[in-house]
Structure 1
Amino acid sequence: MISNYRDSFNAGFTAEKYQSFIKGLEAGFSEIPFRVAETPVFIPADLAAKLVDAGEEIISLIRQPDFKELTKDAIPAEWQVPGENKHPHFLTFDFGVCRDEEGQLTPMLIEMQGFPSLYGFQAHMANNYITAYGLSDNLTPFFNGFDEVSYISLLKEVILGPHKPEEVALMDIDALEQKTAIDFFATQKYLGIKILGLTDIFKEGKSLYYMEGTEKIRLKRIYNRLIFDEIADKTALFKNSFDPREELDIEWVTHPNWFYRISKYTMPFLKSKFVPDTHFLNELEQIPDDLENYVLKPLFSFAGMGVIIDVKQSDIHGVQDPENWILQRKVTYEPAVQSPDGKVKVEVRLMYLWPDGGEPQLCINLVRLSRGKMIGVRYNKDFDWVGGTIGLMNK
């Protein structure tokens, strides 16, 4: 979008440079199982400023004294986890890049989560884009004056807290088999923490442990990457590990309840020029006449699963649990990035860190490029110049 960088990048792009970039990205790690885009996105200052403003508006809602009361029904009763802290450690907001009425690029909120994203991989990716393509050293993926050193320092503060790296573990079910394992490895490289699957952890009394060879090591904190809804039919695993819904002597970063509180559930409470009109389906007084301009979303779905784009009245009438669905006005993405053979749609994820006793800080970003009907790797399998990437801005 910054035209001089875009023009220069496209003029110098070759498939060989892209393959060299991917090789460098994977060096020391395993093969990346998702598509990484050929290019970063060069975010202009005016769009970056709007993204910052949009994020601040959302945070102001989250910081309201009544936010927990407002979102108490967001957490499914069967997944209530005790020991919730005062605030999430991570905030991620996804914005589609659109055009406003004046024709200017502007962000529109698509999704939001109080859950970690690829905080390790994105820093690693930015370095590799800049190195592989010989980009200007005036470009940065960081906001608010952060650089790699200060960013990793804050990431350590948030994830490790006062504990030693061996007392903290990144946890997911079958962690090393996840598509996002590259982020787990990058995080481990930066922080020195363990990567554990759910069943690598066992309980004695109220404490959690894992084995390092023949040594039993007590966990003090879990960097949680496990979405509990995804193991709803696999809770037998808890018998060989631990049940997170029990009272445990463990710190969560971030606590699982925040995944539900800060989600699509929160969007109907937001009123902003950066947020599309959104309603809980069970509170909808009248079905809009222009239903073709809306999308129907389940509250607790992942990676676009279950979303109905071309909504009909029969779809709305057919929903059995309307309290778990939202009707949201469609966002029209602007194809804003010029590829060698056409323009590409853009979605920007703002990624915040919120240390204990501190303030939420916008640090880095994640960008997804799309030519398909929906953003996301599964909807863009047959295209190039699409996939995961990062936004670079002038320092």
Structure 2
Amino acid sequence: MIPEYRHRYNAAFTTAKYQEMLAYINQQFPGQLDFRVAETPVFIPADLRDKLIAAGESIIDVIQQVNFKELTEGAIPAHQRVPGEEGRPEFLTFDFAVCRNATGNLEPQLIEMQGFPSLYAFQSWLPGIFERHFPIPNSVSAFLNSPDAADYREEMRRFLLGDESPENVILLEIFPEKQKTRLDFILTKEFWGIDAVCLTKIRKNGRQLFYEKDGRQISIKRIYNRVIFDELERYPDLPGEFRLTDDVDVTWVGHPNWFFRVSKYTLPLLSGPFVPPCFYLHELNSYPTDLENYVLKPLFSFAGAGVRLHVTAADLDAIADKEHYLLQRKVQYEPVVQSPDGLVKCEIRLLYIWHPDQARPTLVCGLSRLSRGEMIGVDFNKNKDWVGGTTPLFER
């Protein structure tokens, strides 16, 4: 999207160099990259960067409202509510489609949001991998609040560990060694000393939690939570002493209830130039007359599961549990990233952390996904190139 940088990058690009980059990743972490890394980073011009920041700030204004918890009580399924002090959402991620407005300028349009961590380790590592193999100018950066990766990782170390020793902090997941995001877990261990521990391996003694390491029982003080309830529900007979909904003496980073409070459930509470209209399905007395311009989304799913791009009034009438769905006006992704054989659509995720002593969250970095399909996601981009996950590099 910055023509000079794009031209320079594409002129230097070859498929062989891209394969060398993938081989280097595999050499560093054999067999651990389990999702497609796109052939290119995305160069974000200052004007679009500033619009993304403004869009994020307007969403944070809503989350900071004194009645936000009251407005989102219905977001948390009763059987998935986790006890304990929720505090504030330690992590916020906002997904924006890159679109073109009526005046022809690029702008972001909100797609989804989560009060849940993303690839905070991997996204600080990937920019350096691109820099190692391709020409990246010094006038762009992956980091929005730090001068470089080292400074970013030090801030994240303080944020994730608090005052605890790394061995008393765990990254909690279900079968972490099998997750597609496991490379992020490995990098989390490398950067911050935090072990990824499976939910099934947690020991419980009263309100205290432990995990085994080198033959020792280690007390768990803080949990960097990466368990998604939607996935947990797929394992109704999961063994183990600890259930995510148990009332225990740990500090959550971040508390699981924010996964629901800041989610698709929040979208109808938002408005503004970068937020497409969105409605709880059960609150509509009548449907929009242009339903072809709306997408149906289930409230309690993730990674695009259950999204329906094409719906009719009859389809909506047939839904028995309308309170579990919303209608969101479609946005028109603008193909903006020049590949060797055409333009590619782009989505930008902003990644925030919220320090306990700060009034507002801090925007630290981003994640980008490229697509040639109807939607952003693996199923819509099979057997295509110049698609997948990558890093946005923001004009300084």
**Normalised TM-score (structure 2):** 0.97
After the TM superposition, which residues 160-239 of structure 1 pair with which residues of structure 2 at under 5 Å, given as runs? 160-237=161-238
Partner of 1:332: 332
Quick check: 2:100–2:107 contact (8 Å CA) kept in 1? Answer: yes
Equivalent residue number for residue 264 of structure 1 = 264
Counterpart contact for 1:130–1:137, Cα < 8 Å: no
Amino acid at match of 2:169: V
When structure 1 is superposed on structure 2, of 29-38 and 96-105 the one drifting more is 29-38
Residue matched to 1:348: 348
Trace 1:41-56 onto structure 2 (pairs within 5 A): 41-56=42-57
Partner SS, residue 389 of structure 2: strand
Map of 2:85 onto structure 1: 84
- 2:174 maps to a residue whose letter is I
The answer to whether the 8 Å contact 1:84/1:257 transfers is no
Following the alignment from structure 2 to structure 1, what is the Cα–Cα distance between the partners of residues 241 and 51?
Answer: 45
Contact 1:199 1:241 in 2 (8 A): yes
Question: Contact (CA 8 Å) 1:25, 1:124: kept in 2 or not?
Answer: no
Match for 1:166: what amino acid? E
Deviation at 1:85, TM superposition (A): 2.4
- Partner AA of 2:223 in structure 1: I
Q: Output the amino acid matched with 2:283.
A: E
User: Equivalences for 1:1-395 in 2 at 5 Å?
Assistant: 1-31=1-31, 32-237=33-238, 240-358=240-358, 359-395=360-396
Distance 2:252 2:154 in 1: 19
Q: Aligned partners of 2:390 and 2:5: how far apart in 1?
A: 16
Q: Distance in 2 between matches of 1:146 and 1:328?
A: 37
Q: Find the aligned partners of 1:323 and 1:97 in 2 and give their Cα distance.
A: 30
**Equivalent-residue separation in structure 1 for 2:64 and 2:219 (angstroms):** 33
C-alpha distance in structure 2 between counterparts of 1:233 and 1:129, whole Å: 36
Distance 2:386 2:190 in 1: 28
After superposing the two structures, state which structure 1 stretch, 297-306 or 260-269, moved more: 297-306
2:230·2:302 contact (CA, 8 Å) conserved in 1?
no
* Matching residue's letter, 2:25: L
Deviation of 1:312 after TM superposition, in Å, equals 1.0
Please tell me the residue identity of whatever aligns with 1:126: P
Q: CA deviation at 1:233?
A: 4.5
Q: Is the 8 A contact 2:86 2:257 kept in 1?
A: no
Q: Secondary structure at the match of 1:208?
A: strand
How much identity, in percent, do the aligned residues show? Answer: 50
The 1-side partners of 2:372 and 2:120 are apart by 25
Give the CA deviation at 1:240.
1.7
Q: Deviations over 1:76-112 (max 9, x none)?
A: 0001101132201100000000011111000000000
Compared CA separation, residues 69 and 103, structure 1 to 2 (3 A): same
Question: Whole-Å Cα distance in 2 between the matches of residues 70 and 202 of structure 1?
Answer: 35
Q: Distance in 1 between matches of 2:301 and 2:48?
A: 29
Q: CA–CA distance in 1 between the matches of 2:172 and 2:61?
A: 30
Equivalents in 2 of 1:309, 1:151: separation in Å? 38
Query: 1:320-356 CA distances to partner (integer Å, 9 max, x unpaired)?
Result: 1111100010010000111000100000000001122
Q: Please list the CA deviations of residues 233-256 of structure 1 after superposition, one character each: whole Å capped at 9, or x if unmatched.
A: 52432x523022121011111100
On the 8 A contact 1:146/1:363 being kept in 2, the answer is no
Distance 1:105 1:260 in 2: 30
Q: Tell me if the contact between 1:144 and 1:362 (Cα under 8 Å) persists in the aligned partners.
A: yes
> Post-superposition shift, 1:173?
0.4
Q: CA deviation at 1:123?
A: 0.8
Whether the 8 Å contact between 1:369 and 1:375 is mirrored in structure 2 is yes
Instruction: Tell me the distance in 2 between the aligned counterparts of 1:394 and 1:17.
Output: 25
Q: Give the superposed CA RMSD.
A: 1.2
- Of 364-373 and 134-143, more deviation after overlay is shown by 134-143
Question: Between Structure 1 and Structure 2, how many residues are aligned?
Answer: 394
Shift of 1:200: 1.5
Corresponding residue SS for 2:28? coil
Secondary structure of the structure 1 residue equivalent to 2:237: helix
1:275: Cα distance to partner? 0.4
Q: Which segment is superposed worse, 343-352 or 203-212?
A: 203-212
